[in-house]
Structure formats: C-alpha cells, structure tokens
Structure 1
Amino acid sequence: MNDTPITLSRADSSPPRSRSATWLSLGIGALVTLVALYLIVRSVNFELTLLAIRSANLWLVLAALGVQLAAMLFVIRRWQILLRPYPTRYNELTQIYFSAHLLNTILPAKMGTLARILLAAEMENLNVGFVFGSIAIEKVLDSLVMLLLLAVIAPFVPMPEWLRETVTASVLLVLLLLLLLVSVARFRSALLNAVTRFETRLFGAQSTRLALLVRGVIESLMNLTRRRELASVLFWTVCAILAGGLVNQLLFAALDISVPWSATWFVMVVLQIGTRVPALPANLGVFHYVVILALSVYSVNENTALAYAILLHLVVFVLPALIGALCALPISARLFALLTNRTQPTTE
C-alpha cells in the first residue's frame, strides 16, 4: 500500500443521488413502517405499555445509555484501525460518526452512511473508495459475528420459521462477501487493470476516477490481510458486541423482565437481521415490531415487549442522536455541501 493518501473529491467520486430513487426508497420505507405499526397497534394495549415504561428503573436506563455510548466509541476505534495506514484523528472521526448517526435517525435512505463516507474522505484527506471499503468491512464483520452468535444460542432458542429463512439468505450473503475479502490480495492487480481499461474505453484516456475509487476499496479490504490489524479489529468488534449485550441486559433489568441469558443475544441478532428492510428514519416501527417478535419467542407479552422496544430505541437511536446534533453543528455547512453535491472537483 502506498504511503501517500489518495484523495478524491465528492464530485469526482460518485454521481448525485437520483431524486426518484430517494423518493422510491422513502415510499417503500413508509409502507413497511405503516405495516409494522399496524401490526403493533392491533396487538398492544398502550396503557399497559406506558405503565411499564413509567415503572422502569431510571438509573438502569441511564446506565444502559452510558454503555451504549461506550459501544459506539469502540466502533469508532475499530473504524480508525480500518483506516490504517493513513493517520486519522479519533476526535474528528467521533464527530463524523455521531453526525452520521443523527442523519440516519432523521433522514431516509441511510443518508448518514453516505455523509460518513464523504466527511471522512474530505476531513481526513482520504480516498472515498478507501473509506467506503472500511465501512463495508464493518458491515461484513458485524453480520458474521451475529451469525456466529446465532449458531451459539440456536440450541437454546426455539427458532421461528421466519428467522430460519432470513438466516439462510444472510449466511449466503456473508459467505459471498468473505470470499470477496479473501480473493482481494490474489486478484488485486488483475482487477485494477481491468477497471482501468474499462474506464479508458468508456470515458477516455484522461479519466481515472473509477480506477482510483476501486483502488481505494481494494486497499481498504487489504487491511484484513495483516494479522496485527485483523487482531485489533476483532478485539474492538468483540468489545462493541459485548457492550451491546450489556445494554440489552440492563434494560431487561430496568423493566424487571425475567428471560434466559440467550434472550440478550437473540434480540441483538434478530434486530441486526430484521432491520435491514427499508423503513422510515431510525427504523421507526420496524425496530419495535422486530423486538416484539423476538421477545415473543420467550413468551414476553406484547405490552411489556413494546415498552422494552421503546426504551431500547431511545437508548440506541434517539439519545445518541442528540449528541450527533451537537457534533454536526460545527460542520453543518460542509455537510450540506457534500450531501447536495456542491463540492467542486479538485486536481491532484
């Protein structure tokens, strides 16, 4: 890997997002959310749900929030390692991460993830493809860990049929992505040469934008071929997962929900799989219904399960988004310019 970062401006890296695609994503998400909310409304007594929330132990809820913030800081540290060997500033990455979390909470179509890529590329002077690759690795690792967790707890959980079908598709996808990661080192040169030839024929001899983007993605994937980086990434992944499990356990205790140990991890796994479907910002409705489904396996009644889902959503999405709002203030103008594709091309 070269020692000099490859920079790629927003305008050089990707086309502006189609308005029709954004509206389509929003429409599908709204429909899925409405269906989830309908299923919740028809099965829940909201008075009993509110009563359960009022009786929750506030100190345990606050403790869960603190652990959730720690988990997010672990994820940011892992991200910094995935951006090696280029020097990055942890404080800047933290600001970017929480700002992106805010956008994912209030905007559709995962705009926060796009903002995270573009802000990190600009503020840390990195290739857009390299940053994109680091986040792709995060997703693959998280999915792999969730599948391993599911394999561990499967003997202790009466697995619903709907989850078995979803897990099968997830396993195939993760295996495909792992195969891609393993193949990167071997086919790196051939892939880059093929992309360069294709781009030259399509755009002309002077165009190198696509090749730079793909090169950045490949360089990011190459990080996991180094044992030291791989060990560090796995360590912080485990720390984040354990912290997430502790959040679930604290909220069970806050609502005095008595469930087996496997419920802590089962809820986490089901949320990881179930919230991939399109939904309104912050997975509103879908998140809550998925939690109700997961806890129904342990015979937790719908009213208590919804109370748990509301508190978990508050801890995982809403309260960290308030921190994101503070982080986004100093960079709001730059963020707006990036998301509206107003950054001008730069010449390297």
Structure 2
Amino acid sequence: MIHPSTAPASATRRFPWLRLLAGALLAGFLLFLLGREIAWADVLRFLGQAQVGWLLLGVAAIFINSLARAQRWRLLFPREQAPPSLPQALGILLAGQLINNLLPLRGGDISRALLAGRRRGASTITAAATIGAEKLIDVSAAALLVAIVVPYFVLPAWLETNLAGVYTTIALAVLIWAALIFALPAAERYLAAWTTSGRPLAALAVRVHNLLRGLRALRQRRRLPQLLFWSLGVWGFSIAATWCVLAAFDLTASALAAALVVIIIQGGISVPVAPGHIGVFEWLAVLALRTLGFGDDVALAFALVLHAIVLLPPVLVGLPWLWRATR
C-alpha cells in the first residue's frame, strides 16, 4: 500500500515530464501576463537601440563570472582528492548549468557530482559535498548582499515581507559555519576510527566521512581568503554584467541598483520551476526594474537580453564539453 504522502513524489519520479510540463505552463502563464501589460512595438524598438559595446562587456563579465565560479569550486576539494583542472572544472560546471536549465529538477548538480567524482575515479560523495559547500557560500553571500543593499531602497510591500526570511537565512548560515569550524574535526576523527574498527555500519561511516571531507575547505584558514576572493569575483562580475546590460539600454543605475536586480532575480530562480527559467526570469527582472522606477517595456527588453547573455556560457561551452565527455 502506498502512503498518501509519498504518492505525489512517486508520481513525479515516474513521470518527470509532468513537472517539466508544469514548469512550461508556468513560464507560458507569466509570459502571457507580461504580454498583456507590454507594448511589444516599444520592446522591439528598445531592443534595436541597445548599445552593442555595453552588451559585449556584459557577455565578457558573465564568462569571467563562470571562470571565477569554476576556480572557487576547485578550491573546495580536499587535499587528498585532486580537483579537476580549471578547463575541466569550467566544462563540468557549465554542463551542469545546461542540464539544470533543461530539467527543472536540479539534475545538473547531480551530474556535476558524477562527472567530478566517479568519472574521474574519485569520490562522488566528496564531489557532491563540495557542491553543497558552494551553495552554502552563495547563500551566505546573497544574504549578506541583501543586508548591505536593501536599506538603500524603498521596496514594494511584497518584497519587504520576505526580508525576515532573509535575515533568518543569515543567522542559519552563521550557525552552519560555526558548526563546521568547531565540530567537523571531531566528527572526522570519530568516523575515521569507526571505519577502521570493523564495527557495524562501517560502510555507511565511510560515506559520511567522504561527505565531510568535501566540507573541509570551509574551515581551513589558508583557503578562506582565496574562497572569499573568488566569491567576490563570482558576485561582482554578476553585478557588473547586469550593470552593463542596464547601460546598454541607457538605464542610468548605480552598482547598488544592479545588485538589487541580481538579488531579486537570483532569489526568485533559486527554486527551479521552468525550463531555463523562461518566463520566471523575465517576470522577476521586470519587477526589479519596476522597483527602480523604469517602465515595463524597456524592462522587458532588458530582461530578454540579460537572460540570453546568462544562457550563453552553458550553451557555448557546456554543451560542446558535455557532448565530448559523453561520446
């Protein structure tokens, strides 16, 4: 007998196309809502007036963002497990982003762990833990960015109501970091002793130990400055790319305003619901620019171009790399 609470999850595992269809319907609905409020002739006019030089700078910033993300990921691997080379890490990272864009199930993160682990003859569990550590860094950085940027703007009520959750996230991230710093060494010693003593569940202890190995970099003093440097690169070039696209449409905005746009978009697409975040990305970008006082027509033109630029690295680098890796 199937327990009622597990039936929906079982259905989505058996029929993954159902979630894909639901995501596509949501994307279509959001685009429909945008279309009702938009003068498409004006959108096309704004697209035609975009300054190519600024757009090329935005593309360059997005590619540098990907390089910074790949280099930071390499630093998260433990010393006893050699990290992928920078070209390999970049290919795996962008291939994972491509899969995440195609399948709204975070399948790309699983693929990254497999490609960086088992395919290289290394521990997939440790590789997966490095991805988890990466997510913790980004959540912490995003929450800190919110705390810095938000006080400079008058936000709409729907956004103000979510700030309590953001500050809760900051507190939770601090607690997790503290737990890693103080408890990780003792936990690793205990698990290492368990795995060599022939006790029951030794195999499980090995897996948990491999998982904790992938989190070590978060408490290593020598690596923390490097992780901070590359994290600044990840978020800094994401904001720079957004600012360049704003400039391409003559939307005068500060770096703080570009950061607010990044925060709203990234916060909204952190839960994957539609293939490539199509519709969701555009809706969030329009809401962000509306908050800054810009019109919906130019905001949609901005959103379409920024989304296309963000999708370039996974398509131009991730797709060829994935094709070669799976031949």
TM-score, normalised via structure 1 length? 0.81
Other-structure match for 1:341:
none
CA distance in 1, matches of 2:234, 2:220: 21
Other-structure match for 2:52:
58
Other-structure match for 2:82:
87
Other-structure match for 1:183:
179
CA distance in 2, matches of 1:323, 1:109: 21
More displaced, 123-132 or 16-25? 16-25
Q: Between the two proteins, what is the percent identity of the paired residues?
A: 25
Match of 2:142 among 146, 151, 154: 146
- Match of 1:154, SS state, is helix
Summarize the Cα distance change of 1:148–1:206 in structure 2 as closer, same or farther, 3 Å threshold: closer
Summarize the Cα distance change of 1:20–1:51 in structure 2 as closer, same or farther, 3 Å threshold: same
Other-structure match for 2:213:
219
Other-structure match for 1:12:
none
Q: How many Å apart are 1:238 and its aligned residue?
A: 0.4
CA distance in 2, matches of 1:326, 1:190: 41
Q: How many Å apart are 1:23 and its aligned residue?
A: 4.0
Matched-pair contact (CA < 8 Å) for 1:82–1:223: yes
RMSD (CA atoms):
2.7
Matched-pair contact (CA < 8 Å) for 2:129–2:215: yes
For 1:223, the aligned partner's letter is A
Matched-pair contact (CA < 8 Å) for 2:28–2:279: yes
**Residue 123 (structure 1) aligned with residue 109 (structure 2):** no
More displaced, 225-234 or 26-35? 26-35
Other-structure match for 1:35:
29
Other-structure match for 2:110:
114
CA distance in 2, matches of 1:190, 1:248: 42
- Match of 2:324, SS state, is helix
Match of 2:41 among 31, 43, 47: 47
CA distance in 2, matches of 1:248, 1:172: 27
Match of 2:69 among 75, 99, 112: 75
Matched-pair contact (CA < 8 Å) for 2:96–2:111: yes
The answer to which structure, 1 or 2, has the higher relative contact order (CA under 8 A, 6+ apart) is 1
More displaced, 305-314 or 322-331? 322-331
Matched-pair contact (CA < 8 Å) for 2:64–2:237: yes
Other-structure match for 1:288:
282
Match of 2:317 among 313, 319, 323: 323
CA distance in 1, matches of 2:158, 2:43: 26
For 1:143, the aligned partner's letter is V
**Residue 276 (structure 1) aligned with residue 270 (structure 2):** yes
Q: How many Å apart are 1:126 and its aligned residue?
A: 2.7
Summarize the Cα distance change of 1:192–1:290 in structure 2 as closer, same or farther, 3 Å threshold: farther
CA distance in 1, matches of 2:283, 2:122: 39
Q: How many Å apart are 1:308 and its aligned residue?
A: 0.5
Matched-pair contact (CA < 8 Å) for 1:127–1:213: no
Q: Deviations over 1:46-101 (max 9, x none)?
A: 22111111111122212211111011000100000011312222222122112212
Matched-pair contact (CA < 8 Å) for 2:92–2:116: yes
CA distance in 2, matches of 1:179, 1:28: 36
Q: How many Å apart are 1:182 and its aligned residue?
A: 2.0
- Match of 2:138, SS state, is helix
Q: How many Å apart are 1:205 and its aligned residue?
A: 4.6
Other-structure match for 2:5:
none
More displaced, 38-47 or 122-131? 122-131
TM-score, normalised via structure 2 length? 0.85
Misfit runs of 4+, over 6 Å: 191-194
CA distance in 2, matches of 1:109, 1:156: 35
CA distance in 2, matches of 1:156, 1:19: 44
| Structure 2: runs of 5 or more not aligned | 1-9
Other-structure match for 1:133:
129
More displaced, 79-88 or 271-280? 271-280
Q: Deviations over 1:270-300 (max 9, x none)?
A: 1121112342221110011000001101111
Q: How many Å apart are 1:227 and its aligned residue?
A: 0.8
For 1:66, the aligned partner's letter is A
Q: How many Å apart are 1:113 and its aligned residue?
A: 1.5
- Aligned residue-pair number: 311
Matches within 5 A, 1:217-256: 217-256=211-250
**Residue 168 (structure 1) aligned with residue 154 (structure 2):** no
CA distance in 2, matches of 1:151, 1:280: 28
Summarize the Cα distance change of 1:75–1:64 in structure 2 as closer, same or farther, 3 Å threshold: same
- Match of 1:227, SS state, is coil
Other-structure match for 2:292:
298
CA distance in 2, matches of 1:255, 1:330: 38
